[in-house]
Amino acid sequence: MVDRRDIGSWLQGPPRPSAYPGQRLGAPERGPGSVARLGRRVAALVVDWGLSYLVAAAFFGGNNVAVLGIFAIEQILLVGTAGFAFGHRLFRMRLQRLDGTAPGLGKAAVRTLLLVLVVPALINDQDQRGLHDRAAGTVLVRF
């Protein structure tokens, strides 16, 4: 028999928003371990993209495809093994799985593929995780 508890969740509407990004994930509101905010994320992206452009300019004449390729390789290798790229490290952030472990090369590759498509990175949830982070099961936190 169907009970009200079985259908109550959709009748009550969407869940109430968290008080701060990362609360649902068990992250603190501020300080180490808290979800990295938009300003840090954008600044780190600008640093990584700028470095990729400099390398591409030095070796490939600034070819846009080379910039994208170098950026993708940097993200996959550095984020997959160390948990952060140059920009992340500069702004004291690291990428981790939801259980706190390193993402690994596979999850970093999925995340990077979606990141270079740009649109998934622009769609965020209430924990400030883009679709690229949700698909990879990762979160960018401060350290």
Residue 56 belongs to some domain of the structure: yes
- The pLDDT assigned to 18 comes to 79
Contact status, residue 74 vs residue 99, Cβ threshold 8 Å: no
Residue 67 belongs to some domain of the structure: yes
Q: Look at residues 143, 90, 80, 142 and name the one whose alpha carbon lies nearest to residue 115.
A: 80
Residue 89 belongs to some domain of the structure: yes
Token couple for 90:
């500069």
Is the Cα torsion angle 30, 136, 124, 53 positive or negative in sign?
A: positive
Angle between helices 104-116 and 64-74 (to 10 degrees): 150
- The pLDDT assigned to 39 comes to 94
Task: Please report, in tens digits, the pLDDT of each residue of the chain (143 residues total).
Answer: 666 566 655 566 666 777 899 999 999 999 999 999 999 999 999 999 999 999 999 999 989 999 999 999 999 999 999 999 999 999 999 999 999 999 999 999 999 999 999 988 999 999 999 999 999 999 999 99
Chain CA centroid to CA 67, Å: 20
Residue 59 belongs to some domain of the structure: yes
Domain count, the chain: 1
Domain region containing 107: 33-142
Angle, vertex CA 99, rays to CA 96 and CA 101, nearest 5: 45
Q: How far apart are CA 62 and CA 70, in angstroms?
A: 11
Residue 24 belongs to some domain of the structure: no
Residue 126 belongs to some domain of the structure: yes
Residue 28 belongs to some domain of the structure: no
Q: Which CA distances in Å does 108 have to 48, 54, 73, 102, 134?
A: 15, 23, 10, 10, 12
- The pLDDT assigned to 9 comes to 58
Residue 4 belongs to some domain of the structure: no
Contact status, residue 139 vs residue 106, Cβ threshold 8 Å: no
